[in-house]
A = this chain, B = another copy of it.
Amino acid sequence: MSQAATERPGSLLVVSAHAGDFVWRAGGALALAAERGERATVVCLSFGERGESARAWREGRTLEEIKALRRAEAEQAAAALGAEVRFLDAGDYPLRESQELVDRLVRIHRELAPTAVLTHTLSDPYNGDHAAAARMALQARVLAQAAGYDAPGEPLGAPPVFLFEPHQPEQCDFRPDVLLDITPVFARKRKAMECLPAQRHLWDYYTDLAKRRGVQLRRNAGPNLGLPHDTRGEAYARVFPQVTGVLS
């Protein structure tokens, strides 16, 4: 499968329901893309201002203060990963699905022409916003491919979609299809996590998860890969089959 002639530089797009999701779940993939010199973009549909800011509410902050705080933290985390971040400020708890919001995502797909799209699982009984974000991301990707869809830019190709790992994977029917080796960028991911002080309790939780997926990654690695003991990993599920010229 000779790809050389047609290959454009990679463009990674992460569609995230709340401001922090992309750090815990896809921080490694973003940092890897950035280190390869590819474009890495995060779209946060909301700031997680209502549903994922319990401490700030308990401290008596206003809605606007909380949104500003979450925005600032997410911008720092994205910078630590080498990614750009955009905020659509569509509200959370609930994140309401609408054709207008999908249209904004279509336009972003047309603009960025992503070569891979990452988003939430389609089922999450703990958090309806996650599944809503995933449904809208998948719908936007399909609409952006239609020649007749009225939005600027060229019709999109068919970028692969990867669902990142939810907090309680088994209850979300999440089954890893891909274990991504994030060892070279794990320090950057940890640094990005530390940009989110309100969720300090998750720093170690997701560091432990990276170790756990790293152990599994080594167990599933073929004989050619001499992976180190401190391998760190992120898990993803595919929506569409992998296309390849080599079975490995």
Contact = CB atoms under 8 A, between A and B. Distances in A.
Nearest to A144: B93
Give how many copies assemble into the complex: 6
A90 interface: no
Contacts of A158: 219-223
A179 B243 contact: yes
A69 B53 CA distance: 46
Given A1-B225, A215-B205, A227-B1, A148 B51 contact: yes
Interface stretch (A72-80, A81-89, A112-120, A189-197): A112-120
A241 B177 contact: yes
Interface string A194-212: 0000000000010011011
A157 B222 contact: yes
A6 B241 contact: no
A247 B3 contact: no
B8 A224 contact: yes
A130 to B, nearest CB: 10
A125 B145 CA distance: 13
B96 A99 contact: yes
Contacts of A101: none
A239 interface: yes
B220 A243 contact: yes
Nearest to A183: B1
Given A125-B240, A180-B245, A205-B215, A6 B224 contact: yes
A115 B222 contact: yes
Contacts of A32: 245-246
A169 B235 CA distance: 13
Interface string A1-44: 10101111010100000000000000001001000100000000
5 contacts: A125-B239, A158-B219, A160-B248, A170-B176, A171-B240
